[in-house]
Structure 1
Amino acid sequence: MYLKESSFIIHMLENTREILPNYHDYGFVLDKVLQVMYEKTGCSLKLFLDSEGQEEIWTVLQEDIDAGHAQLVANIFDYVETGTIIYEQNGDQQDFVIKPALTNSVYYYPEHQVGLLKLPIFQNHADYEREFLLAKNGHDLLQFLAYVYERQKEIMKDCVTVFTDTEDGVERTKEWITQQVSREDVLLEGELKNEIYRSIDEFFNESGEFFKTYNIPYKRGILLYGPPGNGKTTLVKSIAGSIDAPVAYWQITEYTSSYSIQEVFSIVAKMAPMVLVIEDIDSMPESARSVFLNALDGATSKEGLFLIGTTNYPERIDPALMNRAGRFDRAYEIKTPSLVLREKYLFGKKLDRFMTKQDISYIADQTKSFSVAQLNELYTSAALQWHYEQAVDLDKLIQNLKAANEKARTHEWETDPYSTSVGFDF
C-alpha cells in the first residue's frame, strides 16, 4: 500500500523566515534539492522519509555507486565533507580508498527513477541527519525497495556479513571469503558431518520444499559445542561457501541488548532464507535473554532462518534455548579429532613432503588430546624447523605443545617474580 496524491496547506516559498522561523531553512534546502533533481533528471519527485532506519538501503547504495548503478547528482553544502577515506579489503587485495560520502549528497537510480538523500541538519543544540527517499510516487518507491532487498541478498552471497554489538549499537561489516573451505576440508566424524550438511542442504533446497511437503515449520536451529580450536568456525566457513543463500555472523558482546537483538533479527528477517551464525551464544547478557528467546520464537523473525549457535561452554547455555522447535532443535558436540582424523589432517597438510609416513602416524598417535588448531601449530613449527635446519625433532615439538596445553588448562603460566608489583618504586 502507498499514499495517494495529496494537496498542501502551507507552501514554503510563499512564506519568509520571519513567518516560519523553524521550518523555512529546512524547507529551503529540500526545495533546492527537488529543483536540482528535476533539472538533472527531468523527473518531478516527491520526498519520502525513511523512518524505519533501513540500513540496507544505504549499504546497497554504497555498492551500487561502485558498480555504476547509482549516480551522484550533487553534493548539498559546499563546506561539508564529500568523501571518506576507508581501508578496504576485497579478496586478497587491501588498501586505502576514497569513497564518495553518503551524507551531504544526492544520488539517483536512473533505472528506478528514485533518489536517495542524507541531509545534514545543523542546529544550536545538536547536529544530526535525516534520510529521505525521492520518487515519483509510492508505487515506484515500493518497487525500488523490493530491488534493494534482492540486491542486498546478492551482495551478501559474496561475503559473510558480520554484526557486532557495540556501545553505539550494532556495527555491520563484511568479510570476504578469501579462502574457500570445501566440505572435504572439514574435520568431523562421517555420520555427524553428513547429518549437519544434510540438514543445511535440505533447508535451502528449492526454498524449503521439504518443509512444506511434510508440514514442518520452515525454521531450523543447531548448536555446535565443544572445546575451542576444533573446527566450528571452519564448518561455518564451509557452509557459507557452499550454499546459495546469505550468511550473517553475529558476535554477542557485553553490549548486546534488547535493542540490538531486535535490530539484528529485523535485518535478517528481510533477507530470509538465510543462515544466521550466533557466536559465543553462552555470553548473552542475562538482561537480554528473555528478548532473545522471544525473537527465536518468531515474535520478531519470520520463516526461512537457519540458526547456528556456537559455544565453547555448553554448561553455561540457558536450558530454555534447547529442545524447542524454532530455537535450537539439535546440539552437536564438535570433539577433539580422533586418531583417524588426526592422521587425515596431517596428511592433508602434506607433512609427507619432509617426513615419512611412519613419522606422521607417530605424530597422530602422540597427539591424542590435541585440537585441530594445535595440530596446525605443530605443523607450522615442524615446517619452520625443517625450513631452517633440514631436520625435525618430533618428540621435542610434541612435548613442548603438550606442556603449553597443560599450562593453559591449569592456568599455571610462568611469570616474572617481579611482575606482580604495581605502581612506582621510589
Structure 2
Amino acid sequence: MTFRDVFTHLGSILASLMFLWAVFQQYFPYQLRSSIEKYSQRFVSFVYPYIQITFTEFTGERLMRSEAYSAIETYLSSISSTQAKRLKADIVKNSNQSLVLSMDDHEEVADEFNGVKLWWASGKNVAKTQSFSFYPITDEKRYYKLTFHKRHRDLIIGPYLSHVIKEGKEIKVRNRQRKLYTNNGSMWSHVVFEHPATFETLALDPEKKREIIEDLIIFSKAEEFYSRIGRAWKRGYLLYGPPGTGKSTMIAAMANLLGYDLYDLELTAVKDNTELRKLLIETSSKSIIVIEDIDCSLDLTGQRRKKMEREEGGDKKDPKQKIPQEETKPSQVTLSGLLNFIDGLWSACGGEKLIVFTTNHVENLDPALIRKGRMDKHVELSYCSFEAFKVLARNYLKLESHHLFDPIQRLFAETKMTPADVAEHLMPKMASGDPEACLESLVRGLELSKMKAEDEEKPERITRVRKSEEELPVTGKNRAND
C-alpha cells in the first residue's frame, strides 16, 4: 500500500467520523447528547491523569484585566525567551527602555517546581460580533492554560501558583517605569522619575552610608517580620542638616536603591486633614512619601509650645517663631492630622512605604512628630568631610589622589563647607577640565571660608571677654578707684 492509498484511506475515515458527528448533533435529543457528553468526560478524566487550569485575560465580563493573567504573563517572559519558537516583543517604558519577550498565541513552554514538571500554553479564542460597519469586528479572548499531573494538585494549586503570582508581580515592579508624583490639592500628577543619584556617588561618610544602605535593604525584605510583630510595613526617616548637605539627593538615591516611586507631598496645597488622608490612600506600595522642609511647610511644629507659653502668661514674643498659620496660610491641616498620616490607622494602606521628612532646623520640630515609631531613623547630613570630598573628586574629576589632597584635608579640619559648595568648586570651569585648577579653586574657597569664620568669631570673642570681665569679683584695687 502506497502513501497515497494510506492518505486516501485516512481521509475517508475522518469524513465518516465527521458525518456521524453531524448526524449525532442533528438527530439525537439534547438530553441524550448531554448525558453522553457528561459520561464521556468522566471516562476521559478517569483515564487522562492530567489537570488543566485556565487563566483568562479579562474578568467581570471584560471590564478589568485579570491581575493573575498579567502576573503569569510577566513570570513566563523569561521562560518563553529560552523555550518558545514564536515570540512577541514589546518595549517596557522604564529608564532603560527594556525589550520584553513573551510567547505568541498557541505556544507551549515547560516549567519545573520542587522537582515537578508542568506546562503552560497560551491560547486565543476569536469570535465575530455583530457590527453595522463594513468590516466585521472580532472579539479576542486570550488565556493561559496550566497542565499538570493530578497527583501534584495540592503542590501546584497552593505553593506553586502563589510563587508564580508573587514572582510575576516583583518582576513587573522591577521593569516598570518609575514615577515622581506631586499633589495639586487632593490630586496626584506625575512625571517620569529619572534622577541619576546613587549611594555610590553620594558625598557622605562611608560608614554612615553603609549603615543607611543596610537599613533600607533590611526594611525592603521585612514583610513577614512586620506582619509577625503586628506593625504596618513602613519606616520613617528624618534627614536634617544645613542647606546644601545633600538631603534631596539622598532621597533620590534611596528611591534608586530600592526601585521605589516618589511622592513629593506639598502640605501647603492640602486643604484639610480629609484631603491629606485621601492623598495617602492613593499612594502605591513600594514608594517613598517625602515632605521637604517640614518646619516651613505649615506652622505645625510650634503650636504646642506657643499654647504652653500662653497658658503660662508669657507675653514675650520670640522673633524666631513663625507667624500663626491662620494669618498666612489657608491650609487647615493640623498636627494631629499629620501624625495620623504618619502612623495612624490609615498609614497601613498599601504597605512597604518610606516616609521621609527633611529640615534645616531639627530643633524647631515638635517632639511628637519625630519620636521613634514615627521618624524611626534620624540621619544628620552635616558639612563636607574629607572622606566625602574624595567621593566628589572621584565623581567630578576622576581623581583618587593628588598632591593638593593634603592641604585640602587640613583645611577641612579647620573650616566648614557644604558638599554643594565643594561640588561647585570641582565643576570644570573650562572645556579642558583641568583637575588641578579645580582643586586650587577649592583650596582658595576653603581658605576664604576660614578667614570669614575667623572674622565673624572676633566680635563674639570680644563680647565674651567683656562679659567675663564684668562678672569678675570686685577687688580691693577696684574699690579704691571707686
TM-score, normalised on structure 2?
A: 0.46
| Cα shift readout 1:15-53 (whole Å, capped 9, x = no counterpart) | xxxxxxxxxxxxxxxxxxxxxxxxxxxx996999xxxxx
1:92 to 1:366, Cα distance in 2 relative to 1, 3 A: farther
Identity %: 22
Q: 1:226 to 1:307 in 2, by over 3 A?
A: same
* Structure 2: distance between partners of 1:241 and 1:154: 16
Contact 2:202–2:391 at 8 Å: present in 1 too? no
**Structure 2 residue identity aligned to 1:335:** S
Report the Cα offset of residue 248 of structure 1: 1.9
Deviations 1:322-363 (A, max 9, x none): 2142x212211111121232234223433549xx71124434
Structure number, greater radius of gyration: 2
- In structure 2, what residue type is equivalent to 1:307? I
Among 312, 321, 330, the alignment partner of 2:360 is 312
Q: Does 1:193 align with 2:206?
A: no
Mapped partners of 2:61, 2:438: distance in 1: 74
Label 1:188 to 1:390 Cα distance change in 2 as closer, same or farther (>3 A).
Answer: closer
Report the CA distance shift for 1:343/1:361 in structure 2 as closer, same or farther (over 3 A).
farther
Judged with a 3 Å threshold, the aligned counterparts in structure 2 of structure 1 residues 391 and 330 are, in CA distance, closer, same or farther, namely closer
Question: C-alpha distance in 2, partners of 1:393/1:198?
Answer: 34
Q: 1:154 to 1:262 in 2, by over 3 A?
A: farther
Shift of residue 388 of structure 1? 8.1
**More deviation, 302-311/208-217:** 208-217
CA distance in 2, matches of 1:159, 1:279: 24
Q: Tell me the distance in 2 between the aligned counterparts of 1:352 and 1:191.
A: 21
Match of 2:193 among 167, 173, 176: 176
Specify every segment of 5 or more residues in structure 1 that has no aligned partner in the other structure, as ranges.
1-42, 49-88, 94-107, 113-146, 411-426
| 2:402 counterpart of 1:384 | no
The match for 2:289 is 276
Query: Counterpart amino acid of 2:352?
Result: G
Q: 1:159–1:223: structure 2 CA closer, same or farther, 3 Å change rule? A: farther
Confirm whether residue 366 of structure 1 aligns to residue 416 of structure 2: no
TM-superposed CA distance for 1:109, in Å, is 10
* Aligned counterparts of 1:191 and 1:402: Cα–Cα separation in 2: 28
Pairs within 5 Å for 1:9-158: 154=172, 158=176
Cα separation, partners in 2 of 1:298 and 1:337, compared to 1, 3 Å:
same
Question: Out of 263, 266, 270, which is 1:252 matched to?
Answer: 266
CA contact (8 A) 1:219 1:304 kept: yes
Question: CA offset at residue 153 of structure 1?
Answer: 10
Letter in 1 for 2:358: T
Which of 201, 204, 228 is 2:243 aligned to? 228
CA offset digits 1:372-397 (Å, max 9, x no partner): 211111011xx224738997285566
* 1:188 partner amino acid: L
Distance 2:393 2:435 in 1: 19
Matches of 1:220 and 1:320, distance apart in 2: 16
CA–CA distance in structure 1, aligned partners of residues 358 and 257 of structure 2: 19
Query: One-letter code of the match for 1:284?
Result: S
1:127 maps to what in 2?
A: none
The answer to whether structure 1 residue 333 and structure 2 residue 346 are counterparts is no
Cα deviation, 1:92-129, whole Å, max 9, x if unaligned, reads: 99xxxxxxxxxxxxxx99669xxxxxxxxxxxxxxxxx
- Matched to 2:362, the amino acid is P
Shift of 1:213: 5.0
Deviation, structure 1 residue 216: 5.2
The answer for the alignment partner of 1:163 in structure 2 is 181
Question: What letter matches 1:297 in structure 2?
Answer: D
Change (3 A) 1:336 1:375: same
Letter in 1 for 2:368: A
- Kindly state the Cα deviation for residue 228 of structure 1 after the two structures are TM-superposed: 2.2
Relative to 1, partners in 2 of residues 1:199 and 1:111: Cα closer, same or farther, differing over 3 Å?
A: farther
Question: How many residues are paired up?
Answer: 270
Instruction: Provide the C-alpha distance between the structure 1 equivalents of 2:269 and 2:421, rounded to a whole number of angstroms.
Output: 31
Q: Give secondary structure in 2 for the equivalent of 1:185.
A: coil
Higher helix share: 2
Provide Cα deviations, 1:110-166, integer angstroms capped at 9, x if missing partner: 669xxxxxxxxxxxxxxxxxxxxxxxxxxxxxxxxxx9xx98994797455333343
Mapped partners of 1:250, 1:197: distance in 2? 21
**Contact between 2:240 and 2:379, CA under 8 Å: does it hold in 1?**
yes
Tell me the amino acid that sits aligned with residue 202 of structure 2: V
Q: Does structure 1 conserve the Cα–Cα contact (< 8 Å) formed by 2:289 and 2:354?
A: yes
Scaled by the length of structure 1, the TM-score of the pair is 0.51
Counterpart in 2 of 1:301? 347
How far apart, CA to CA, are the structure 2 residues paired with 1:390 and 1:336? 22
Unaligned runs of 5+ in 2: 1-58, 65-92, 98-138, 144-164, 300-331, 457-482
Structure 1 stretch displaced more, 230-239 or 361-370? 361-370
Amino acid at match of 1:238: A
Q: Which one of 278, 295, 298 corresponds to residue 285 of structure 1?
A: 298
The SS at the match of 2:235 is: strand
The 3-state SS of whatever aligns with 2:191 is strand
Aligned to 1:265: 280
Contact 1:282 1:318 in 2 (8 A): no
Give the whole-Å Cα distance in 2 for the aligned partners of 1:92 and 1:402. 43
